[in-house]
């Protein structure tokens, strides 16, 4: 095999590893903050964390305390030769828990934990939407 062929093969393997071949899914949550304080923030985290992309986002509730967010979750779990995807990708990664944290002044003052998929509806594409709006309260853990 020539050096050019080997070099081309190595570049192809590296390029395949750089991008996941798995379709991401979306998770939509909506809710409200009971008695919202000025500057309050809702932090949304996934567990297990996505391997690629963001697994956490901060959302500011509106004046009425309502919030909504749709997050993308990368399903890539590895695969192929040395993770390169040369022989296919493992797209089995799924979020199991969503943790909502109410922050005021950077301090966690309330939490809600949602089980995925138990507390979510799933559409035909595998995307999740919370079944009932979540209410975050100070002191809830």
Domains and CATH numbers, the chain: 3-136 (2.60.130)
pLDDT less than 50: residues of the chain: 9-10, 13, 15-17
Residue-wise pLDDT for 86-117, tens only, equals: 667 788 888 899 999 999 999 999 999 999 99
pLDDT at 16: 47
d(CA 103, CA 88): 41
Listed in order, strand segments (DSSP E) in the chain are: 25-33, 41-47, 56-59, 66-73, 97-104, 107-115, 120-122, 128-130, 134-136
For residue 91, the model assigns a pLDDT of 84
Q: State the Cα–Cα distance between residues 44 and 98, nearest whole angstrom.
A: 7
What is the structure's pLDDT at 58?
A: 95
Global pTM reads: 0.76
Whether residue 127 has a cis bond before it, omega within 30° of 0: no
């Amino acid at each position: 095999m020539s050096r050019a062929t080997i070099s081309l093969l190595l570049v192809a393997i590296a390029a395949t590893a750089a991008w996941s071949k798995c379709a991401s899914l979306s998770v939509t949550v909506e809710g409200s903050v009971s008695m919202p304080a000025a500057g309050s923030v809702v932090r949304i985290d996934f567990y297990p964390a996505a391997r690629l992309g963001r697994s956490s986002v901060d959302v500011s509730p509106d004046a009425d305390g309502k919030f909504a967010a749709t997050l993308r979750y990368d399903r890539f779990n590895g695969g192929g030769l040395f993770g390169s995807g040369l022989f296919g990708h493992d797209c089995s990664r799924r979020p199991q828990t969503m943790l909502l944290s109410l922050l005021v002044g950077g301090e966690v003052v309330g939490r809600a934990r949602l089980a995925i998929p138990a507390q979510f509806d799933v559409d035909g594409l595998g995307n999740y939407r919370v079944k009932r709006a979540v209410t975050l309260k100070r002191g809830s853990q």
